Structure 1
Amino acid sequence: MAILSFALLCALCAVLAWIDIRHGIIPDWVNGAIAGLGLLRMFMAADFVASLAAFGEGAVIGAVFWLLRRLYFALRGIQGLGLGDIKFLAAAGIWVGIEGVPMLLLVATLTALACVGAMQVSGRALTAQTAMSFGPFLAAGLLVTSAFQQYGF
């Protein structure tokens, strides 16, 4: 069950990345599918109480990042994270828990920085106003963190 659920997560993350790159949004149905699959995996591996705890962690993570989004907007006057990213982080929290969020964000940030560096080296002009979809990097962070937690690599 663990390998099948991880394979489905990989497929959902690929769909998420494709849609976010092409359209600049993360659809609610993708976030819902990732959350639902995570809850199903937790229920099959443990029990209802563990599933409920995972749901609670996802809700807390979503709330924290929603508050950070609001704070950033209050300070800068622009949105830093989209609501799709916030919903994705809540769904990802079901998979990796609160303890996995720092690693997820580290992987997402490092891969985004590597992409920006490659764009800069290739001669693409980047400014502080350049918008970039963060969903694909968050998806990579979720996959790496989940694989590390489940399989130890």
Structure 2
Amino acid sequence: MIYLAYIDWRTLRLPNAITLPLIFLGLSFNWASDLRLTTPSLAFVGAFLGYTVLWTLNAGYRLLKNRNGIGMGDAKLLAALGAWLGWNSLPGILLIATITGILGGLAWLQWRGHQLQQAFPFGPFLVIAGIIELLWPQLIPTFILSKSI
């Protein structure tokens, strides 16, 4: 995951040679291992929804702007996170990735001197969010949502 974040940061690409096996390994691990992170059915739905959510958002953006808004490598990375952690982790991952992505994206654009219309890597923020969700799965419900309600 860290390597994928590095590749995306440097090249704005998430290679299929890494993301697709990561999806397959997540599904296999949760199906075959006694140490599974989620049930096999939640992993399968997570992989499906992880890809579908970002694909749908991109399709809507493409209809409005006639260009892609997010790369499909990001969708495959979110599918991999869903395959490893289950579909119920996806809202937290997307929330954390979006917040850190906005802050990091503004810093990226300022540092690189780009305009707001230019691309920046979202994969590193998905990786950060996935690691947070893996290590502290109750972070959002416990610390963020409980204080805002």
The two structures, once aligned, show a CA RMSD in angstroms of 2.9
Q: Which runs of 5+ in 2 are unaligned?
A: 143-149
TM-score, normalisation: structure 2: 0.77
Identity %: 32
Of 47, 59, 64, 1:58 maps to: 47
Return the offset for 1:99: 1.7
Aligned pairs for 1:126-137 (under 5 A) are 126-137=114-125
Return the offset for 1:127: 2.1
Maintained 8 Å contact 1:58/1:93: yes
- Equivalence for 1:5: none
Q: Distance in 2 between matches of 1:45 and 1:17?
A: 28
- Equivalence for 1:102: 91
Return the offset for 1:56: 3.1
SS in 2 for 1:129: coil
* 1:133 partner amino acid: P
Maintained 8 Å contact 2:46/2:88: no
Maintained 8 Å contact 2:43/2:87: no
Counting matched residue pairs gives 139
- Equivalence for 2:16: 28
Q: Distance in 1 between matches of 2:4 and 2:78?
A: 13
* 1:65 partner amino acid: L
- Aligned: 1:112 with 2:108: no
Which segments of structure 1 move beyond 6 Å, counting only runs of 4 or more? Answer: none
* 2:105 partner amino acid: V
Maintained 8 Å contact 1:96/1:149: no
Q: Distance in 2 between matches of 1:137 and 1:116?
A: 9
Maintained 8 Å contact 1:61/1:93: yes
Return the offset for 1:118: 3.6
Q: Distance in 1 between matches of 2:10 and 2:109?
A: 21
Of 28, 34, 41, 1:45 maps to: 34
- Equivalence for 1:67: 56
* 1:103 partner amino acid: G
Q: Distance in 2 between matches of 1:95 and 1:77?
A: 33
Q: Distance in 1 between matches of 2:135 and 2:68?
A: 31
Q: Distance in 2 between matches of 1:19 and 1:147?
A: 23
- Decide whether aligned partners of structure 1 residues 62 and 117 sit closer, same or farther in structure 2, where only a CA change above 3 A counts: closer
SS in 2 for 1:143: helix
- Aligned: 1:92 with 2:77: no
Q: Distance in 1 between matches of 2:72 and 2:66?
A: 16
Q: Which runs of 5+ in 1 are unaligned?
A: 1-12
Maintained 8 Å contact 1:95/1:146: no
